[in-house]
Amino acid sequence: MKTVTILGATGSVGGSTLDLIERAPEAFEVLALTANRDVEKLAAAAIRTNARRAVVADADCLESLRAALAGTRIEAAGGADAVCDAARMGADWTMAAIVGTAGLKPVMAALEGGGTIALANKESLVSAGAVMMAAAQRYGATLLPVDSEHNAVFQCLDRSAPKAVRRIILTASGGPFRQTPLEGMQTITPAQAVAHPNWSMGAKISVDSATMMNKGLELIEAFHLFPVGADRLDVLVHAQSVIHSMVEYVDGSVLAQLGTPDMRTPIAYALAWPERMETPCERLDLAKIGKLEFEDPDYVRFPALRLAREALAAGGARPAVLNAANEVAVAGFLSGAVKFLEIAAIVADTLDRYDPAAPETLDAVLAIDAEARRYAVERVKDCVV
Ligand code: NAD
Ligand code: MG
């Protein structure tokens, strides 16, 4: 029996993780499930999986969580600190699937326990990569990448890595606007942006995919997970999402991981690692697909990708500022206050106006994140919709 905790259990990745765990109840014991405010979904999942504890990050929801769990033996807790406490319960395996900077402290709390952390929350490596990787080492925690590209790379790295790696190639679907001309991008609505052609995901990452900021965040994520150097990280647009990423070696060999676009495959890999487990995912039918197609990314129509590359090259606090500004801009876009093309402009302006020194602790990262948000929020006020 493996004890598991899911941080962000009511989201897209959290739901896929629950699906796998519920198919193999004999193999897993659930310690804690957490959510932001979705009490109904959280309580239902906690009851189904017989979890020991259910936690809402928003303390105002604690009373309704208690009511929903009345008559069960499941503990209820509320507040951001309670989410971190849940992450510290000592699970063998923790899924980190909270979206955004809100995930940073819980990820750190899980790392301190020294177990295995399946990391979906890419923002924690983007903003605090050096701090997180050092903490994983210090506490003897095992960090397994869940993001499909990084999970693919992880599967393709052989024993010679990293010294024999010539290039890591992250594939990108290109999102819903891969072929949309720049003029047509002026009027993109939130509903259009969250409708991803291949993957079903939460709203924030769907918008990131549409601007291709997601691939930029993934470059920074890869830089921390796989220490081959930023100049060995490439992006290749592959609209079909069949190849989830590749590793090219010095001898000319290229290893790729393929599959249908279903997050349950990379999650299952992290859940069973170093073994493998069955999933109900649709199987890949290459004869039906016929041919695989690739193109180079367009840095003019997708400036967010360029901004992320520059932030990675500059290092220090730049990725944390980029990430914070992007979260503000995306939230502004989803609420109708920001136009699609202004998302990257807000990020660029925030990077221009705020250039702090490299953070060395998580608290320093969070202070930079908060300050970058203030700049970005001011910039959002200039937007005319
Ligand atoms: P989602 O929006 O569907 O779910 C987010 C989860 O985080 C929910 O359970 C929500 O309740 C919780 N949450 C939100 N705000 C919170 C807060 N302030 N405090 C505590 N909990 C909070 O998001 P998702 O699509 O599942 O993505 C989760 C993470 O995984 C993101 O970092 C995303 O980039 C990454 N990721 C997602 C996918 C995917 O296919 N969805 C793929 C790769 C990586
Ligand atoms: Mg990804």
On whether the CB atoms of residues 143 and 230 are closer than 8 A, the answer is no
pLDDT above 80 for 331: yes
Distance 126 CA to ligand 1 centre (A): 15
Percentage of the chain beyond pLDDT 70 is 100
Residue 127 falls within a domain, yes or no?
A: yes
Which of the ligands is closest to the CA of residue 222? Answer: 2
Check pocket membership of 11 for ligand 1, CB cut-off 6 A. Answer: yes
Q: Which residue ranges make up the annotated binding site for Mn(2+)?
A: 147, 149, 218
| Structural domain range at position 54 | 2-145
Which of the ligands is closest to the CA of residue 244? Answer: 2
On whether the CB atoms of residues 98 and 13 are closer than 8 A, the answer is no
Check pocket membership of 317 for ligand 1, CB cut-off 6 A. Answer: no
Banded model confidence at residue 298, pLDDT cuts 50, 70, 90: very high
Q: Which residue ranges make up the annotated binding site for 1-deoxy-D-xylulose 5-phosphate?
A: 122, 148-149, 173, 196, 209, 214-215, 218
Q: How far apart are CA 67 and CA 146, in angstroms?
A: 34
Predicted local confidence at residue 384, as pLDDT: 78
Report phi then psi at 312, rounded to 5.
Answer: -65, -45
Which of the ligands is closest to the CA of residue 149? Answer: 2
Distance 158 CA to ligand 1 centre (A): 30
Enumerate residues 6+ apart whose C-beta is below 8 A from 113. 87, 88, 89, 90, 91, 94, 139, 141
Distance 316 CA to ligand 1 centre (A): 25
Check pocket membership of 99 for ligand 1, CB cut-off 6 A. Answer: yes
ipTM: 0.99
pLDDT above 80 for 280: yes
Q: Which of 6, 13, 37, 225 has most ligand 1 atoms within 8 Å of CB, for mutation?
A: 13
Q: Which residues sit with Cβ closer than 5 angstroms to ligand 2, an ion?
A: 147-149
Residue 333 falls within a domain, yes or no?
A: no
Distance 98 CA to ligand 1 centre (A): 4
Residue 221 falls within a domain, yes or no?
A: no
Residue 46 falls within a domain, yes or no?
A: yes
Banded model confidence at residue 197, pLDDT cuts 50, 70, 90: confident
pLDDT above 80 for 385: no
| pLDDT tens digits, 215-274 | 999 999 999 999 999 999 999 999 999 999 999 999 999 999 999 999 999 999 999 999
Banded model confidence at residue 30, pLDDT cuts 50, 70, 90: very high
pLDDT above 90 for 161: no
Percentage of the chain beyond pLDDT 90 is 97
Residue 290 falls within a domain, yes or no?
A: no
* Over residues 148-165, mean pLDDT: 95
CATH number assigned to the domain comprising residue 92 = 3.40.50.720
Which of the ligands is closest to the CA of residue 15? Answer: 1
Distance 218 CA to ligand 2 centre (A): 7
In this structure, the number of other CB atoms found within 10 A of the CB of residue 344 comes to 23
Residue 323 falls within a domain, yes or no?
A: no
| Total domain count, the chain | 1
Residue 202 falls within a domain, yes or no?
A: no
Residue 247 falls within a domain, yes or no?
A: no
User: Helix/strand/coil (H, E, C) string of the chain?
Assistant: CEEEEEECCCCHHHHHHHHHHHHCCCCEEEEEEEECCCHHHHHHHHHHHCCCEEEECCHHHHHHHHHHCCCCCCEEEECHHHHHHHHCCCCCEEEECCCCHHHHHHHHHHHHCCCEEEECCHHHHHHHHHHHHHHHHHHCCEEEECCHHHHHHHHHCCCCCCCCEEEEEEEECCCCCCCCCHHHHHHCCHHHHCCCCCCCCCHHHHHHHHHCHHHHHHHHHHHHHCCCCHHHEEEEECCCCCEEEEEEECCCCEEEEECCCCCHHHHHHHHHCCCCCCCCCCCCCHHHHCCCCCECCCCCCCHHHHHHHHHHHHCCCHHHHHHHHHHHHHHHHHCCCCCCCHHHHHHHHHHHHCCCCCCCCHHHHHHHHHHHHHHHHHHHHCCCC
